Each structure stands twice: as structure tokens, then as C-alpha cells.
């Protein structure tokens, strides 16, 4: 199963709403189950450098079917996946990327958010993910 554009846009609108609520301009990216870009939005004034980071967070979350922050713990110096970021033309492994599941628990895509502090990014990504039913 694959996320639909309608679901992706629902996630983006939810993420925009949460971002406005916490007062940060975010870049929001959705990839499908094949890790291909499905939808994207940069809120007015959001960091330009976060366009690529939001997309890479979404890709990274789907590449490994886990939240990006989890991979980040494993990629610290001395940890098992140190420097995994060199693969796949660049990963982003700090929080803000979250897999999206359907009602059966199957992963159908992922959301990546970038533009604030990493805990804000993660909060917004989780909120957007939860908007997909």
C-alpha cells in the first residue's frame, strides 16, 4: 500500500496548522512507500536550507522504517552506524522524520519536517503523521 496524494496533503495541512500554532515556519515533505517525493510545502519565510533537510528526513525515515532520531543515536561516534549519513546521497539522522502507517500498521510513506528546533520538527512531523488515517 502506498500513501495517496490526498493523504499526503492532509498530513501537510495538519503539519502547517501545528507549525503556525507553535510559531515556526516549517518545510514539510512527504514520501511514499518507495521513498519517492509525493508532496512538499515550504511555509513563507521558512529556512531555505531546510527544503533539502525535510526531504532527506522523510526519505531517511522510510529508508529504515524508523524515526530519524533513532538512527541518529546509532550514528554517533563509536556507535554501530557511525557516518551512515554518507549513504543514499546524504541522510539526515536527527529528529523530524517519522514513518506513516495505515490502519493495519503497514508503512505507506513518511513525513519529514525541518525549520525549527529538532524537538519542534519532531512534534510537527508526529502531528502530521497522526492526521493520516
Chain residues in the site for a copy of itself (CB under 8 A):
4-5, 8-9, 32-44, 47-53, 56, 59-60, 62-65, 72, 75-78, 80-95, 117-118
Helix (H) or strand (E) holding 52: helix 50-64
131/42 Cα distance (integer angstroms)? 19
CB of 49 vs a copy of itself, minimal distance in Å: 3
CB of 115 vs a copy of itself, minimal distance in Å: 10
Distances (CA, A) of 121 to 4, 38, 43, 84, 129: 23, 19, 13, 21, 12
73/71 Cα distance (integer angstroms)? 5
Sole residue written with cell 525549527:
116
Spatial contact of 7 and 82, defined as CB atoms under 8 Å apart: no
Sole residue written with cell 527544503:
51
CB of 85 vs a copy of itself, minimal distance in Å: 4
CB of 35 vs a copy of itself, minimal distance in Å: 5
Residue 85 or 102 having the CB closest to a copy of itself: 85
Amino acid at each position: 500500500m502506498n500513501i495517496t496524494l490526498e493523504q499526503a496533503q492532509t498530513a501537510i495541512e495538519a503539519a502547517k496548522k501545528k507549525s503556525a500554532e507553535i510559531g515556526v515556519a516549517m518545510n514539510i515533505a512527504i514520501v511514499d512507500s518507495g521513498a519517492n517525493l509525493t508532496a512538499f510545502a515550504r511555509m513563507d519565510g521558512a529556512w531555505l536550507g531546510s527544503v533539502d533537510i525535510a526531504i532527506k528526513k522523510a526519505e531517511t525515515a522510510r529508508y529504515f522504517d524508523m524515526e530519524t532520531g533513532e538512527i541518529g543515536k546509532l550514528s554517533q561516534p563509536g556507535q554501530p552506524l557511525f557516518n551512515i549519513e554518507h549513504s543514499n546521497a546524504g541522510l539526515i539522522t536527527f529528529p523530524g522524520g517519522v514513518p506513516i502507517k495505515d490502519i493495519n500498521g503497514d508503512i505507506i510513506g513518511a513525513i519529514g519536517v525541518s525549520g525549527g528546533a529538532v524537538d519542534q520538527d519532531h512534534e510537527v512531523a508526529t502531528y502530521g503523521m497522526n492526521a493520516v488515517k
